[in-house]
Amino acid sequence: MKKMKFLLSITLGLAFSLTYTSCKETSKSEAAAAEVVEKEAPVKEVTAAELLTGKWTLKDMEFKSKEDLKDMKSFFDAMKEGLVGKFYYEFSADKTWINSSPPLVGEEDKVQKGNWVLSTDNKTIITSTEDGEKKDFEIISLDEKNLIFSISDDMGSQIMTFTKE
């Protein structure tokens, strides 16, 4: 009987150690396989042009008017109220764009179309309309969900914040 218990305990100990070693080896081989997969499939970095592609709806805007236009703050505030959530730009992969502006006082919906390119440093969106009007948007921030750019004109500058739909 003692021999039987002794043999049983040796057999169980051997079985346990083989199972433990086997599991440990499996974990090592699984980790090695996962490492090989990571090395074989490099993560593709998204370009600025790819990030920009899509429909961007105005979330917020800030006017920085020229000194002689400071008394027009209420006009700018009303303009902001009329545009937020309704004004958008849609940049396509084929380098065309469209934007839609809701009607402001006495106007109809305004839709513009044109072409766009990014500057070589990816900091400026260079646009031209179908009528040949050119406008540059200085990119302040661009990621998967948000686009912030600045534009300047005769009235001053605007910082516009958009969210991607």
pLDDT in tens, 67-83: 767 677 888 888 899 89
Is the pLDDT at 26 greater than 70? The verdict is no
Burial 28-50 (b: 16+ CB within 10 A, else e): eeeeeeeeeeeeeeeeeeeeeee
Q: Who has greater pLDDT, 106 or 88?
A: 88
Global confidence as pTM: 0.69
Average pLDDT over residues 43-48: 87
The pLDDT score that the predictor gives to residue 78 is: 87
What residues does each domain of the chain span? 1-43, 48-164
Q: Tell me what the pLDDT averaged over the chain comes to.
A: 81
20-24, 35-39, 116-120, 138-142: range with lowest mean pLDDT: 20-24
Of the two residues 97 and 20, the one the predictor is more confident about is 97
Q: Is 60 left (phi over 0), alpha (psi -120 to 50) or beta?
A: beta
Q: Which of 94, 79, 88 is nearest to 153 (CA)?
A: 79
When mean pLDDT is compared over 26-30, 41-45, 64-68, 112-116, the highest value belongs to 112-116
DSSP E strands in the chain: the ranges are 54-65, 88-91, 96-101, 110-118, 124-129, 134-142, 146-153, 156-164
What is 48-164's CATH topology? Lipocalin (2.40.128)
